Amino acid sequence: MRVVQFGLGAIGQAAARLVLEKSALQLVGAVERDPQFLGRDLGEVLELGHPLGIKVTDQPPTAAAAIHCTTSNFTAAAAQISDIVRAGMHCVTSCEEALLPAFRDAPAAAALDALCREHKVSVVGTGVNPGFVMDTLPALLTSVCQHVHSIHVTRVVDAGTRRPALQKKVGAGLTPAEFDQLVHTGKIRHVGLTDSLMFLAEALGWDDVDVTETVSPVLGADGNVAGVRQLARGGNLTLELEMYVGAPNPRDEIFIEGVPPLHVVIQGGTAGDLATPAMLVNLLPRLVEARPGLHTMRTLALPHLET
């Protein structure tokens, strides 16, 4: 399958590298408008130590599928993905708000769905969070429940073990005042927590769920910010995300109060830097097999490793 990579940020680069390792996939293009990348050989951008003969371009070649990693905002992503769909390509996107497109922008979602059907291709938003830990995985777990009363998911990430960009993103090293300012301007906030919660609510058939989200700092011993604690609540659903330097017992933990109850722990957590590109790439065959349209993780067949 011929694949084009759209966006060469950290996730996009990791996805492109992974495509190169998969025997069933052929990377045929890389699209990025950032002048630091435009026109360069992709092998150099990816620091492979050898050229790939693929120049980074803003004019995508034709392929069977695109991996799209440029924005968290669904409305912005939908405009870009529409061009991808018009070119006849399936598209998997890391856009966080594309997890549940109709929740974020119902008209854009309906238009994109119609466009997908017209061009007989499929689009889905996924990743590890959102896309797996707090939505797809707990939804699957409820399949062995007769009844569910509540779901509580906690994801604890030791930001000290993650890339510097993530440490900056969670506010590590800021003063509490600086942190507050960045929270108020929306610069410190994991995008997708509300989307994961609404995904679960929809899967469970729970209507009338209103989500509230809070973002607060976790302070280190020096009084400065070590990272962030973000909480989304709605109905009987609670999603709790802690990402800070030195967080003890990193893990993903899912409590389902129900019949039977389930208590699931991913010890050490799911390493997002590795897991997100994996999900993007592994989902491509499921997308190509699916009926044309705008999909969610609920409407595709079971994702799993593709070799």
Rule CB under 8 A: which residues touch a copy of itself? 18, 21, 128, 132, 136-137, 139-140, 142-148, 203-206, 258-260, 262-268, 270-271, 274-279, 281-283, 297-307
**The one-letter amino acid at 160:** G
Query: How far apart are CB 280 and a copy of itself at their closest, in Å?
Result: 10
Query: How far apart are CB 161 and a copy of itself at their closest, in Å?
Result: 12
Nearer to a copy of itself, 112 or 283 (CB): 283
Nearer to a copy of itself, 78 or 280 (CB): 280
Query: How far apart are CB 24 and a copy of itself at their closest, in Å?
Result: 9
> Exposed (0-12), middle (13-18) or buried (19+): which is 206, by Cβ within 10 Å?
middle
Query: How far apart are CB 268 and a copy of itself at their closest, in Å?
Result: 6
Query: How far apart are CB 289 and a copy of itself at their closest, in Å?
Result: 9
Nearer to a copy of itself, 207 or 222 (CB): 207
Query: How far apart are CB 307 and a copy of itself at their closest, in Å?
Result: 5
Query: How far apart are CB 170 and a copy of itself at their closest, in Å?
Result: 20
Please give the Cα distance from 94 to 125 (Å, whole number): 6
Query: How far apart are CB 84 and a copy of itself at their closest, in Å?
Result: 22
- DSSP alpha helices (H): ranges in 89-244? 101-104, 106-119, 136-141, 164-169, 176-184, 193-203
SS3 string, 280-298, reads HHHCHHHHHHCCCEECCCC
Nearer to a copy of itself, 184 or 263 (CB): 263
Nearer to a copy of itself, 1 or 266 (CB): 266
**The one-letter amino acid at 78:** A
Give buried/exposed letters for 216-242 (b at 16+ CB in 10 A, else e): ebbeeeeebbbbbbbbbbbbebbbbbb
Nearer to a copy of itself, 80 or 270 (CB): 270
Give buried/exposed letters for 164-181 (b at 16+ CB in 10 A, else e): eebbebbbbbbeeeebbe
Nearer to a copy of itself, 109 or 300 (CB): 300
Please give the Cα distance from 158 to 151 (Å, whole number): 23
**The one-letter amino acid at 111:** A
Nearer to a copy of itself, 103 or 132 (CB): 132
The dihedral built from the CA positions of residue 17, 20, 26 and 29, taken in this order, carries a sign that is positive
DSSP string across 36-84: TTTTSBHHHHTT-SS--S-BEESSPPP-SEEEE-S-S-HHHHHHHHHHH
| Cβ neighbours of residue 303 closer than 8 Å, sequence gap 6 or more | 126, 136, 279, 282, 283, 286, 297
